[in-house]
Amino acid sequence: MRVLLTGGAGFIGSHVADLLAEQGHTPVLLDALLPQAHAAGKAPSWLDRYEVVHGDVRDADLLDRLLPQVDTVCHQAAMVGHGVDPDDAPAYAENNDLATAVLLAAMYRSGHRELVMASSMVVYGEGRYSCTEHGVVPPPARSQADVDAGRYDLPCPQCGRDLAGELIPEDAPLEPRSTYAATKLAQEHLAVAWARATGGRVWAMRYHNVYGPRMPQNTPYAGVASIFRSSLERGEAPRVMEDGRQRRDFVHVSDVAAANVAALETPAEAGRCVPLNVCSGEVRTIGELATTLADAMDGPAPQVVGGARPGDVRHMTADPARAAELLGFRARTGFAEGIAAFATDPLRDAVG
């Protein structure tokens, strides 16, 4: 099948393209080549073998020309990460939400009714927690006063005991805590409305902490693994915020690509946008990531510096069961193996 792959020159998109081609499909890459991700303003050399269209998903005329030439759509284009400050909000809304709305409208005009779309774990907000006495409870928002005082664990809203982080299922409450998170949830809502109105089928792929070759570097839009590696390459100790015990699920980009291809080959239920956690199923801490990467790179030991960035959450770990049931997807790259390889994986050219 021919697949229109938006954001195809990006970190995840390029790996989806490679796996599609490897399995006999033809990816058509559409990418705006935004300077936040592409320092040279052009597609990386590893995409030379593909058809790459330099254009914007918000360009309805361009989509009207491209969509009749393909069989289905994989929507990876997005502005990601924490960003710089709230002044980023219009750019996030334009690149994530407006772009998705334009794409969905163009798909309606062209008769396409199947979409695989990148979403994110950030739609869950603070995550899922339980109290030894009160069971699963809604976590309170962390106060800046508690963070400043080094009180990072969340208290039970009923008794004040520290809450324990739990695996998050896809039906958990959605409470975005950052601009990026708000735009990713809005993308899902747009897809839900479109699917209901058209009988369309959508998979919303809620990525957890993705890492691996071709990650962006030296940019506020990069992930924590890339930030730690950049520090180590400069001979500096990775700076670990809070106490280093915040829990995450780190999933290798090759596994994320496999999940997307499985979704492209497996129709979702008609009239629905079905969310899926795309994760490794391994619970690790930020401190473990920093230490494992420092050891692999023979670098200085991490420094725990406290504090937290706006929008950071305490624990965010995923239940992988639904993706296994509906797509047969299970991550294959273990944490130790993946991080050891990441120590020398090629990254994107530094931005800025």
Q: Is residue 254 part of a domain?
A: yes
Q: Is residue 112 part of a domain?
A: yes
pLDDT classification of 222: cutoffs 50, 70, 90: confident
pLDDT digits 0-9 by tens, 66-122:
999 999 999 999 998 776 788 999 999 999 999 999 999 999 999 999 999 999 999
pLDDT of residue 216: 87
Quick one: pLDDT at residue 352? 56
Show the tokens assigned to 108. 């309606």
Element counts in the chain: helices (H) and strands (E): 11, 18
Q: Bigger pLDDT: 41 or 245? A: 245
Domain count, the chain: 1
287 within some domain: no
Contacts of 47 (CB under 8 A, 6+ apart): 8, 9, 14, 17, 29
Domain extent, residue 94, equals 2-128+167-215+250-282+320-332
Residue 143 included in any domain:
no
Burial string for 90-126 (b: 16+ CB within 10 Å, else e) reads: ebbbebbbbbbbbbbebbeebebbbbbbbbbbbbbbb
CATH number for the domain spanning 103: value is 3.40.50.720
The reply to whether 14 falls in a domain is: yes
User: What is the pTM for the complete model shown?
Assistant: 0.95
Whether 303 is covered by a domain: the verdict is no
| Residue 312 in domain | no
In a domain, 7, yes or no: yes
**278 has which bridge partners?**
207
Q: Which amino acid is at 306?
A: G
Q: Which uninterrupted H or E stretch holds 327?
A: helix 321-327
The SS3 call for residue 289 is helix
DSSP string, 61-125: HHHHHHGGG-SEEEE-----S--SSGGGHHHHIIIIIIHHHHHHHHHHHHT--EEEEEEEGGGGT
